Chains A and B, each alone.
Chain A
Amino acid sequence: MSGHWPPEWEDPEEEVPEEAEQLEADAQARLSEVTAYLASVPAPVVPENVAARIGAALAAEATARADDTAATAGSPTAAAANGSADAAVGDDTAPADDTAVHESAGGPPAGSPDGSRTLGPAPARARVGRNRRRRLRVSLPKAVGSLAVCLVLAGLGFGLA
């Protein structure tokens, strides 16, 4: 907020200094009373429905995380792919502790109050993509091996020639 006051709020120049000091002290005393009063207000109790709702949401997150972990643990190549993908996301959000949350005060995207990219279960399309890439990766070693054999044979042929 700016410090520009409306003109009618300006103090008159002919104000007596002692009175000004007294007014300042009075103002500080009254503001201190506001502080004391705010501190005396009892803290609200969490409604049971709110606590239950959030507890259920956290339990759902835990279940989703466990399912995702089990799915990635079932396939080593998929786990490697997911690990590299998660590492990339982690790098994007790093340093992802206090300073990242500090940066979010400027207006993070909706749904991510701390400014991070929220992770969740991968969509079905991405899973299909990973399966396709898994099949491609499985066939690559064979292709490389075949190519190596061809090169060796070509080299032998050249040497004989």
Chain B
Amino acid sequence: MSGPAPGEPSDVTLLRRHADGDPDAFGLLFRRHSGRLWAVALRITCDPDDAADALQDAMISAFRRAGDFRGESAVTTWLHRIVVNASLDLLRRRSARSVSWSGDPDDLPLPEPGEGASAADSRIDVDAALRTLPPPQRAALVLVDMLGYSVADTSAILGVSEGTVKSRCARGRARLLPHLAHLRGDYPEGRNQTVPDSVPSEQGGGA
């Protein structure tokens, strides 16, 4: 998890400075955690444009409500919660787009420039697989398995019990298993098969 460099103010200090009127404090706070916040938004929305919209909405909301932060949780937890809620809210408003994958590879997010082929392929496969999950399961799995949050922290971020987090993660993993098992070489077709037959696809049920 990103944190302040030696000599830089802590997250709480930046938030307090922002609440006191410092015009640059919140921008510094955002830049410090932008990577993880972007990862959360992108993995949950599974669309770069939606992720950008959700992250912007979340940061503006956090900017305006920073004065209400009581310090009962970490600043990063608070920020992640706002981003998760913004992402889920955006998916609710665009509920027709996010649940299933059409099977068209052009719908997948493009790899970042400069990435190696293996890293790009694995991320495309994961993004396609994550799209098949219901958003609440997707959010739990992203926070726990991909970003390394503990079950307790994830329950605080999502606002549900730890048992619910564990249940969502278990079910999400079970649903992802057939999508990702081929990457370990279990299928004779190898890495090229990204979608099982059960996923609806314009290409006739997957590769």
Contact = CB atoms under 8 A, between A and B. Distances in A.
B64 A34 contact: no
B133 to A, nearest CB: 11
Contacts, number: 170
A112 interface: yes
Interface string B156-184: 10111000000000110110110011011
Interface in A84-138: 90, 93-98, 100-105, 107-108, 110-116, 118-120
A44 B38 contact: yes
Task: Tell me what chain B mostly uses at the interface: helix, strand, loop, or mixed.
Answer: helix
A113 B63 contact: no
A37 B180 contact: yes
A123 B123 CA distance: 46
B70 A95 contact: yes
B26 A31 contact: no
A58 B93 contact: no
B100 interface: no
A16 interface: no
A155 B93 CA distance: 69
Interface in B73-87: 73, 77-78, 81-82, 85-86
B112 A45 contact: yes
Interface string B106-122: 00000010010001001
A90 B66 CA distance: 12
Interface size class of A (residues with CB under 8 A): 35 or more
A30 B181 contact: yes
A35 B141 CA distance: 9
Contacts of A59: 23, 27
A108 B85 contact: yes
A62 B26 contact: yes
Contacts of B174: 31
A24 interface: no
Interface stretch (B3-11, B54-62, B188-196, B197-205): B54-62
14 contacts: A1-B134, A34-B177, A54-B30, A62-B26, A62-B63, A65-B21, A95-B70, A98-B72, A98-B78, A110-B93, A112-B61, A113-B57, A115-B85, A116-B61
Nearest 4 Cβ contacts at the A-B interface? A96-B68, A113-B86, A102-B159, A38-B145
